[in-house]
Amino acid sequence: QKEVEQDPGPLSVPEGAIVSLNCTYSNSAFQYFMWYRQYSRKGPELLMYTYSSGNKEDGRFTAQVDKSSKYISLFIRDSQPSDSATYLCAIGETSGSRLTFGEGTQLTVNP
Amino acid sequence: DTAVSQTPKYLVTQMGNDKSIKCEQNLGHDTMYWYKQDSKKFLKIMFSYNNKELIINETVPNRFSPKSPDKAHLNLHINSLELGDSAVYFCASSPTGGNSPLHFGNGTRLTVT
């Protein structure tokens, strides 16, 4: 079993839709949760970073963490064609020195 | 100014050759990493250096040898390249180890023929 599971998609939605991206993890030691966005032929860039259960909002993006269920989500409201990218979840341990990445979900927002 | 820069951007070479990828960061970070991303977009850590000291060395063939001349630079040398080494290699940095967010370069796309 992978430590972090993420549906690779692809996911295709119309412009304006609400997008939900999800990851599950198996290790209770994971305490830090990040979402990265990766455009084609570019490096991943940090979108959201949180370490507590609950919601964190930044503009059209909301990161949600449920530690009891070992489940994290990223919601994108009013999705735009410019949101078309691969979204990667990344999770880290409290005392560790590495992040474990999900496979990434490829998202296409159609105008 | 590019925060994490890698060279070259593309690398096409034949099996058996030796090649190097260079990485530099101007963010003042202490920790640098090499990640490998396969064709399915799966990112896997290879190495991590903190202030020139190797702290993570995943199960990577010993044909891969990282070198950090100073904390702003981390290079990756690959000997006897194989077809399976074809991937995108990303350099990243963070202010400390642990769970600080990573800043990635734009990758080196390696193709071994």
Say what the pLDDT of residue B98 is. 63
Cα dihedral sign, B30-A94-A6-B83: positive
Residues in contact with A1: Cβ distance below 8 Å, sequence separation at least 6, in sequence order: A26
Q: Is B7 on the interface with A (CB under 8 A)?
A: no
pLDDT band at A31; cut points 50, 70, 90: confident
The contacts of residue B62 (CB under 8 Å, 6+ apart) are none
**Rounded to a whole number, what is the distance in Å from the CA of A61 to chain B's nearest CA?**
17
Report the pLDDT value the prediction gives residue A80, as an integer from 0 to 100. 98
**B99 in A contact zone (CB under 8 Å):** yes
Residue of chain A with shortest Cα separation from B40: A103
Residues of B in contact with A95 (CB under 8 A): 98
Rounded to a whole number of angstroms, the distance from the CA of A18 to the nearest CA of chain B is 24
Query: Per-residue confidence at B35, pLDDT binned at 50, 70, 90?
Result: very high
Angstrom distance (rounded) from CA A8 to CA A38: 13
Q: What is the mean pLDDT of chain B?
A: 92
pLDDT value of residue B57: 83
- Is the pLDDT reported for residue A94 higher than 80? no
pLDDT tens sequence across A56-67:
999 999 999 999
